Structure 1
């Protein structure tokens, strides 16, 4: 979550966490769950899509 505290490209953040192929499924789950958000209005979700952590309540 710290990696995406500020918006950054999806693949850049995934590579900072670890092996991109292992990390991406977890990031997709976090986006599906609403923990992470992505800018989907600009384009389809891709390597350069900006992703950020949503603020957690409570």
Structure 2
């Protein structure tokens, strides 16, 4: 896979990680961290899987 695709996958993974941390932090302040945190966590895992596939292919 060409390098730009790896970079995009990496950037997406980092963005999801940042969003997940932000969602959990804000959620803790507002008292609804569970749902949003779980959704963002699964989104982050999905991005990590895509990044792994980008490295394999």
> Does the TM-score normalized on the shorter chain lie above 0.5?
no
- Larger Rg over CA atoms: 2
Query: 1 or 2, which has the higher helix percentage?
Result: 2
TM-score by structure 2 length?
0.32
TM-score, reference length from structure 1: 0.31
